[in-house]
Amino acid sequence: MISKSAAERVLAEAVRSGGDFAELFMEDTRSSSLNLVDGAIDSATTGRTHGAGIRIYHGLEGIYVHTNDTSEAGLMKAARQAASAIGDANAARDIRLTGSIVRNIHAIERLPMDVSGAEKSRLVHAAYQAAKDYDSAIRQVRVSLMGKETDVLIANTEGLFTGDRRVYTRFSVVAMASNGQENQTGSQAPGAMMGYELFRDRVDVEARARRAAETAVTMLKADKCPGGYMPVIIDNGFGGVIFHEACGHSLEATQVALGNSEFCGKLGQQIASPIVTAVDDGTIANEWGSLNIDDEGTPTNRLVLIENGILKNYMIDRLNGRRMKMAVTGSARRQDYTFAPTSRMRNTFIAAGSDDEAEIIATAGDALYARQMGGGSVNPATGEFNFAVMEGYLIKGGKIDRPVRGATLVGKGSEILMKIDRVGKDMKMAQGMCGSRSGSVPVNVGQPMIRVTGITVGGR
């Protein structure tokens, strides 16, 4: 992308006006997507994203400039523009970069761009047919494939000069069931930091399509969920979105460093029920939220956030690490070069516990069982979160009674964490896109089945 000596000149230009740290991030991304609706492929796109961002620190100030012009002249111009935001001092600094090779732990076999249109077409058609055939109430199915290959180069004034390649493949299916008056949907969207071996090794698109159809058909026949305050059982997999929203965002230095989190100053304190251990792990091979190095060039790690209810770590990027006087955790991420990085989650999950799943339901009394979660959001400052239940069931006297639809869970993260009274044994992860200050990034959420003694359930 750019030579080491050119990167040295650009970084030297960036710190000329008195900045005490500068970073260059370059990106070249090729992406493609394919959509099938109504049994026919109706759109296909290919794109190339290319650009660079230059970041300068001046004490606790962060300056960011980005551009599409990645010629050396273009980068020098961006560096000068960033430097001018600090002042007009002119102090030459000699920058020496040392190349470092990143050890790739995410083996890729078949790049998405190399897979033929015919093969992609076969996959989406197979998924479409599987969903359609599931039930005559399935009236519409939308299937998509997304592939992305990103090369990044990261250099900074501490001498770092490194790069990484990230390959993503994702499949999504939305099935719609209808009875003429009402529509209900179900969806599945598995993905990984992998090529098309994803569909050989991990994801059966037809089984996923049938699962989406099952949700849609079940919800079409479901009653509206009654609202109120009740115990809630959340299943494994995408159920982990509760931890992501209720707690994860509030443990990002993005929030903590500026005093915007309800968990500020709580390291070493109990913030969750003693049966809760939660981890953010960027190192799991080929997982959707994994990275060899983060977007500041720091190798990722496995970070225990909460151990037996005690808050152990925050997720910390470089600038907020300065603000907090704490070390980075390989958690700095950005959607692309148009965003300055900040601390974000990677693969975040509640670790497996020791409770039996059948017992969790049998001893719940009257409760809501959220089998499939939708997405959610949180206000980290107040901890108030909300999320949607895509497929829910009422539990009466410890038995699953009937499906219900339209439920939303609302509450405060700090309160919910303390109210977890069961953690199951079977931890599963699922994929999502997480949106925050530095854009939309791929993350895994995960957990075993958990039970919360009480949550406000929104329904009708």
Partner 1 sequence: MEVNEFIKKLFDRAAKAGFEASEADYAGSEEFSVSVKNGEIVDYSVSAGMGLGFRALSKGKMGYASTQVLDEDALDLLISGAAENAALIENDDEEFIFVGSKSYPEMDVYNGEIDRITAAEKIDMARRLEKACVSLDPRVTQCEAVEIMSGSSARRLVNSRGLDVSFRENYIGLYAGVLAQENGEVTSGSAIRLARDPKKLDIEAEAAKAVKEAVDGLNADKAISGEYKVILRNDVAGSILRTFASVFSAEAAQKGFSLLKGREGEIIGSPALSIVDDPLNPASPGATPFDGEGVATRRLDIVSAGRLNTLLHNLKTAKKQGVETTGSASKPSYTSPVGVAAHSMHVVPSGLSPEQLVEMAADGVLITDVQGLHSGANQISGDFSLGARGFLIEGGKVTRPVSQITVAGNFFELLKNVTAVADNLDFAFSSVASPDLLIGKLAVAGK
Residue ranges in 327-386 that form contacts with partner 1 under rule CB under 8 A: 338, 340, 374-377, 379, 381-382, 384-386
Q: Is 388 in the site for partner 1 (CB under 8 A)?
A: yes
Residue 304 C-beta: closest distance to partner 1, Å: 27
Phi, psi of 402 (to 5 degrees): -160, 155
Cβ distance to partner 1 smaller for residue 110 or 139: 139
Interface with partner 1 (CB under 8 A), residue from 262, 280, 317, 355 = 262
- Pick out residues in 84-123 that bind partner 1 (CB under 8 A): 85, 117, 120-121
3-state SS class at 391: strand
Cβ distance to partner 1 smaller for residue 32 or 300: 32
CA angle 361, 365, 367 (to 5 degrees): 75
C-alpha closest to that of 455 among 423, 422, 415: 415
In the block, residue with structure tokens 């009422």? 394
CA distance 35 to 325: 47
3-state SS class at 253: helix
CA distance 428 to 352: 9
Residues 267, 268, 272, 273, Cα dihedral to 10°: 180
Q: Are 326 and 251 in contact (CB under 8 A)?
A: no
Q: Is 20 in the site for partner 1 (CB under 8 A)?
A: no
Interface with partner 1 (CB under 8 A), residue from 89, 107, 258, 285 = 258
Interface with partner 1 (CB under 8 A), residue from 318, 405, 422, 451 = 405
DSSP state at residue 336: S
CA distance 113 to 26: 21
Residue 341 C-beta: closest distance to partner 1, Å: 12
- Pick out residues in 408-437 that bind partner 1 (CB under 8 A): 408, 410-412
Tokens describing residue 179: 């009875």
Cβ distance to partner 1 smaller for residue 62 or 309: 62
Residue 259 CB neighbours (<10 A) = 10
Residue 346 C-beta: closest distance to partner 1, Å: 21
- Pick out residues in 172-231 that bind partner 1 (CB under 8 A): 176, 178, 182-185, 225, 227-229
Q: Are 233 and 377 in contact (CB under 8 A)?
A: no
- Pick out residues in 22-81 that bind partner 1 (CB under 8 A): 34, 36-38, 40-51, 60-68, 81
CA distance to 12, 82, 324, 332, per residue, from 60 (Å): 19, 15, 10, 16
Q: Is 140 in the site for partner 1 (CB under 8 A)?
A: yes
CA distance 453 to 241: 18
Cβ distance to partner 1 smaller for residue 229 or 399: 229
3-state SS class at 433: strand
Cβ distance to partner 1 smaller for residue 45 or 98: 45
Residue 178 C-beta: closest distance to partner 1, Å: 8
Cβ distance to partner 1 smaller for residue 288 or 387: 387
Cβ distance to partner 1 smaller for residue 99 or 228: 228
The DSSP annotation for 116-182 comes to -HHHHHHHHHHHHHHHHHH-TTEEEEEEEEEEEEEEEEEEETTSEEEEEEEEEEEEEEEEEEE-SS-
Residues that bind partner 1 (rule: CB under 8 A) add up to a total of: 74
Residue 183 C-beta: closest distance to partner 1, Å: 5
Cβ distance to partner 1 smaller for residue 85 or 275: 85
- Pick out residues in 228-247 that bind partner 1 (CB under 8 A): 228-229
Tokens describing residue 46: 């290919």
Residue 101 C-beta: closest distance to partner 1, Å: 27
Residue 359 C-beta: closest distance to partner 1, Å: 28
Residue 109 C-beta: closest distance to partner 1, Å: 22
Q: Is 291 in the site for partner 1 (CB under 8 A)?
A: no
Segment contacting partner 1 by CB under 8 A, of 4-12, 394-402, 416-424, 452-460: 452-460
Cβ distance to partner 1 smaller for residue 365 or 435: 435
Cβ distance to partner 1 smaller for residue 398 or 459: 459
